[in-house]
Amino acid sequence: MNYFKTFMLLLGMAALLMGIGYLIGGMSGVIIALVIAVIINFASWYFSDTIILKMYKAKEVDESSAPNLYRMVTDLTNSAGMPMPKVYIIPSASPNAFATGRDPEHAAVAVTEGILGVLTYEELRGVVGHELAHVKNRDSLIMTIAATISAAIGFLAIIARYAMIFGGRSREGGGIISLIALLVIAILAPIVAMVIQLAISRTREYSADKGGAQFSGQPLALASALKKITSMANVQPQQDLSNPTTAHLWIASPIKGRGFMSLFSTHPPVEERIRRLEEIAANG
């Protein structure tokens, strides 16, 4: 179900891109915007592990320097039938974790010092299983595709703004209606694209929760970990991790969004994630 929802959301983004391109001036604008977006986003995707790990000063560990964590990751990757990723520890007291890398053969799992200090062994297994599910599901690639389409829509919105300023097709088409259409596109299209992109991110979190529950065999431990991480973040905000460009990577978003702002959240409500994990446990 989550894969179907992801596909439909990506399809919606692609349709939005094509529609905007047609309204602005045909497929040439779409192609130019896509080429620019592909270059920017896929370069970031290819080097994602290096960029993000350096950003958070992550230190690679092995069996001798972090035996319990390393053996846990080894056990879970064997259970998931995956290649062994690199393992990192981030020098942060905020309890959190993420996985990165362009594919399962070039992946990394990173946990903070904070999460190692507050979770039980079983809870940490659930968290690591969740991150490995992201890797196995190739969520980094899916989110890069979504980001690429979203960026292309953003570029087209910029073109629309310039078209309003300098005339172009709006004047050829006969005045105020064309100008209003361009104005709507320039303002609303990037917002709609971002909302869809973030909705895709939320569906991938549900899938990773399910995968983490399967790999670790302990859905309730993962639910307990999510509850513990979230409650601690409410007491002490994770400001050192609150970079909007990487918020979607963490198992629990370091950036909070409530009410209407939840539309712009990279993660689904933790209460719903816990409910689904409890349902998995109840169904055996």
Residues annotated catalytic, as ranges? 131
- For 245, phi then psi, to 5°, come to -75, -20
Beta strands in 41-174 (DSSP E): 59-61, 86-90, 97-101, 107-112
Please provide the DSSP assignment of 190-223 as one string.
HHHHHHHHHHHHHHHHHHHHHHHHHHHS-HHHHH
Alpha-carbon distance of 62 to 82, in angstroms, equals: 18
Beta strands in the chain (DSSP E): 59-61, 86-90, 97-101, 107-112
Alpha-carbon distance of 177 to 130, in angstroms, equals: 49
Residue type, 119: L
